[in-house]
Structure 1
Amino acid sequence: MKKILTLLVAFLFVFTLAACKDEGSTEKKIELRYADWANQDINKRMIDKFMEKYPHIRVTISTDIAGSGDAFTGNLEIAAQNGLLPDVFATDNVPTIVNKGLTADLKTYWDNDDDAKLVYPNIAETAVYNGHRYAIPSFQFLKGIFINLDIFAEKNLTTVEGKYRIDNNGYPVKDWTHQEFVEVAKAITNYDIVNTENLVVGFDTWYGAPDFQQVWPMMNDAETGYDTWNGTSFNYESEAWIEAMKAKVEIDNYETNLGVTSRYPAADWEATPALQSYIIYTGYGAMDIEGSWQFNYIQLAKEEGINLGFWPYPSGSEGLFPPTILDYAAVSSQTEHPEEAYLLAKWMTYGRDGWNARIELYEEDRQTAISEGKTPAYLDRFPIADYPGVWDKVYTLVDGIEGIEYTLDRIEHSKPDLDKWLAGYKDFWSWVNDAENEYGWAALQVAGPDAVPTFAAQWNAKVNELVSTQIANLGKDE
């Protein structure tokens, strides 16, 4: 009897203690800080939902980490020096923060996470260095082609055998090839800078130059990754890369750049305000190689009476492998709560529960906008995992963007870029873009398409040297 009473007292003590903790009277909340450069209203609402699910964790947004991209990453380093690094943060370059010692190894958490097992393999394998996972991929942004539907409707192009195919609406077919894209750009161009109401620029480029050599080869070979990366090396001396780079140099110099790229003659640029605008948004551009983070311009253009679509990136001989741009998040090496920080990082990035919460917010905002007679904001970033039910809702949140379904229907075959995670790749592009480099991009523009094989050999040696050296040492155990 005495033993029974003792057990009963012990049970009541544990029950009472648990109840007190549930009421928050004895359990201390864990404090976390979060920082990224995304929409802070969405961030706040996402974090509110996170705290509802995990009431023992209190999260604040670190507004002192300013800027975006490399400026944001630079400010993270300053914060770390002062012991103020947020527990979870975004970064524009994973190798940079690894080298600065800002990140915790998340391999154990990732490897034991059921959601992570559903991440598309070619995305899951990124940001892993010498057996360590120092960041997690968060979203994939789509790379595709903005097209001005009004310009194409007015131009009324028709199929030209051997050059390009046009559908019944007067738009390029969605399974168009790389060559068709270039020929359509030439055909649609009307470089009239005197009567700018007639001005049509064929296509705007990817950050100052066409991106053909990074994307075309992977469309012609199912085993080739972005920019010919195969997991261990690049192959810029391949026939596919050389032909794509020749096409890039040729179109970049097309008719002294009159209306096919944004590299206009200086006198034209200075005298023509229309050229100085974001031409796809202001109605002067027929096409633009762009990323989905610019989907807000589709919404804004529609409010100005300009109708934009988002066509798939042109396909190759093996079909369409949608090129995507990855973002990353990391957990601080200074955090006192790595497990809870990982929960937060997962919620704000790739996790299934977080995605369901994000979709709920977008659906709420969508209904509000529709009820007010406004164009709803479009979802501009996309899951990196094959979560049942989530992708069905994603389609609804881009409803109204003509052409996007073709890309989304192939998203499981996407091939991600390398910019934010591959060690040495950033340094390689600094070398390419050095104006004093005799084998740099500026020199190749002058030398012309015939010089591509010579430049390819130099680029191939340099990129493989930088990447292999830095990969071998990044995150290596001492």
Structure 2
Amino acid sequence: MKKFVFLALLIIFTVASFAKATITVSVWSWNVDRYKKLVAEFNKYYPDIEVKIIVNEPDINGFLTATVSAKKALPDVVAESWEPLSYPVSQGWVYPLDEFFKDDPYIKYVPDSVRNAFKYNNKTYALGERLHFECIVLNLDLLKKLNLTAPTYENWTVDLFKNYARRATTKEYSGINQLWEFDTFMAAILSKETTFWSFDPDKWEFDLVNGGWIPAIKLQKELKSIPGLVADDLINQDMRNQGQLDDYQKKFGKDADAFRESKVLMGFEATYDWSWLRTVPWNFDYYPVPHDPKIGIRLPVHINYTFVSSTTKYPKEAFLFARFLTYDPRGVVARLKLYESEGVENGRLTDWFIPATMHPDVVKYFETLKIPNGIKWMLKNLDKTVRVDMWKIVPGWFEAIWDVIFPVNEKIRRGETTPEAVAKETQDKANKVIKESWTIFAKKLADAEKKFPQIRKQIEGK
């Protein structure tokens, strides 16, 4: 009998020792096939971790809320999100990851601008998963036709940008397609301290008086004051509705798409516009948003993220998959190859992504992709990025922007006031919103941090 019990216990112990840890990973429905292939690559290195793919719909935070409301288990890893992280963090659903960075051979290749992007109280709650840059798309064919020399990325300054935009503005051509929100992004470029909408991330408040807001608005007004320079500014929908030709149609043609027809030198676009930009019939390159030499190069970047849920039974294994997805060079290169395998059209990859790491293996492979050289240059200068997707981490962001600052910006654009006259009053109102929202969030965060050790003890059976 004793021998039988011993053998039974030995079998149980042996099975348990070799049992796979099973984790769930939530992804968007259109990415399921990609992630199944990525899991196969992951299992080449971690065969004892089983990964099950589930779909998060219709949005990440809504999906998480519905999952908790239904008393179901959260996914161990949320693979890709661009929604406000402050919400799941405030609910206590996110696992701080700093314990896993010790002796990590890959984390040093993630620049501080990305590594510190999702921190609260000095705790890392998410990892950068993929990046998007705000850029200037330069029509290389039209540039040559206008006898203009392609600038280097390093020398692409505000003055040179303005010069090229003016020289390209003729009876036949325009300098740039549109400048919607150009000033709000340039507020992150024309100051060393502020980012999108002139927010100071160190002080956690807007600085419209001393930050990049005022010089950015002045730059935009200067560009818009030159007749015909901004192609889309020539559009008058009221005239079109009345059956009349507006200035855009008179210049480019009744049914013209001036940008696509190579009649506009530059486009203020982003890397997330690739799906349609890759279809234009002319040669182009992505250039960084122009910089001020006195301030230096600052590349405005959006950072999508991945996180591990606080309720996972296997935090280490969940982190390993999150790392494989985000900054483990083996996983990142595998992901790039998956995108590359989806094909090339007109000499351009149909899809790709910008990694969140500067690991030499990743940079080397990225160099081989059939994508614009400017994007390759930006990856190699990832340490010069400035964060512009502040809504992902700043509680109260939308209220401060759309209820306070945006209406003032519109008055300035209509010429009803000047930025200098309203900067102080507007920033004070916006900062009041941010401060009140942070107070509420900080209390929830404190509660979540307090409960986290208790949650882990219950899950780990201690």
- For the superposition of Structure 1 and Structure 2, which TM-score range results when normalised by the shorter chain? 0.7 to 0.9
The one of 27, 35, 58 aligned to 1:43: 35
Which residue number in structure 2 is paired with residue 466 of structure 1?
A: 433
Q: Which segments of 5 or more consecutive residues in structure 2 lack a partner in the other structure?
A: 448-462
Q: Aligned equivalents of 2:51 and 2:219: distance in 1?
A: 50
Which residue number in structure 2 is paired with residue 421 of structure 1?
A: 393
Alignment of 1:314 onto 2:255:
no
The letter of the residue matching 2:289 is Y
Alignment of 1:80 onto 2:68:
yes
Report the TM-score, using the length of structure 1 for normalisation. 0.75
Pair 1:205–1:48, CA change in 2 (3 A): farther
Which residue number in structure 1 is paired with residue 117 of structure 2?
A: 126
Report the TM-score, using the length of structure 2 for normalisation. 0.77
Alignment of 1:444 onto 2:432:
no
Q: CA deviation at 1:451?
A: 0.8
Q: Aligned equivalents of 1:445 and 1:465: distance in 2?
A: 24
Q: CA deviation at 1:364?
A: 4.7
Pair 1:347–1:239, CA change in 2 (3 A): closer
1:89-146 Cα distance to aligned partner (Å, 9 max, x none): 2332111332344323333334564433432112222221124333222222222211
Alignment of 1:149 onto 2:137:
no
The letter of the residue matching 2:50 is R
Q: Aligned equivalents of 1:339 and 1:274: distance in 2?
A: 60
The one of 437, 453, 476 aligned to 2:420: 453
Which residue number in structure 2 is paired with residue 341 of structure 1?
A: 318
Q: Which segments of 5 or more consecutive residues in structure 1 lack a partner in the other structure?
A: 1-5, 157-165, 192-197
Which residue number in structure 2 is paired with residue 160 of structure 1?
A: none
Which residue number in structure 2 is paired with residue 178 of structure 1?
A: 158
Alignment of 1:286 onto 2:286:
no
The letter of the residue matching 1:120 is P
Pair 1:321–1:121, CA change in 2 (3 A): same
Which residue number in structure 2 is paired with residue 393 of structure 1?
A: 365
Q: CA deviation at 1:284?
A: 4.8
1:423-448 Cα distance to aligned partner (Å, 9 max, x none): 333332222466xx5xx322222235
Which residue number in structure 2 is paired with residue 411 of structure 1?
A: 382
Pair 1:200–1:244, CA change in 2 (3 A): closer
Pair 1:125–1:145, CA change in 2 (3 A): same
1:140-164 Cα distance to aligned partner (Å, 9 max, x none): 22222112222223333xxxxxxxx
The letter of the residue matching 1:338 is P
Q: CA deviation at 1:467?
A: 3.3
1:211 aligned counterpart, secondary structure: helix
Pair 1:459–1:381, CA change in 2 (3 A): farther
Alpha carbons 2:164, 2:175 under 8 Å: kept: no
Pair 1:209–1:356, CA change in 2 (3 A): closer
Pair 1:36–1:365, CA change in 2 (3 A): closer
Alpha carbons 1:281, 1:297 under 8 Å: kept: no
Alpha carbons 1:202, 1:259 under 8 Å: kept: yes
Which residue number in structure 2 is paired with residue 259 of structure 1?
A: 230
Which residue number in structure 2 is paired with residue 203 of structure 1?
A: 177
Alpha carbons 1:428, 1:466 under 8 Å: kept: yes
Which residue number in structure 2 is paired with residue 382 of structure 1?
A: 355
- Overall identity of the aligned pairs, in %: 20
Q: Aligned equivalents of 2:20 and 2:375: distance in 1?
A: 47
The letter of the residue matching 2:177 is F
Pair 1:37–1:127, CA change in 2 (3 A): farther
CA RMSD of aligned residues (A): 3.8
The letter of the residue matching 1:422 is V
The letter of the residue matching 2:304 is D
1:379 aligned counterpart, secondary structure: coil
* Larger fraction in strand: 2
The one of 206, 210, 219 aligned to 1:247: 219
Pair 1:213–1:362, CA change in 2 (3 A): closer
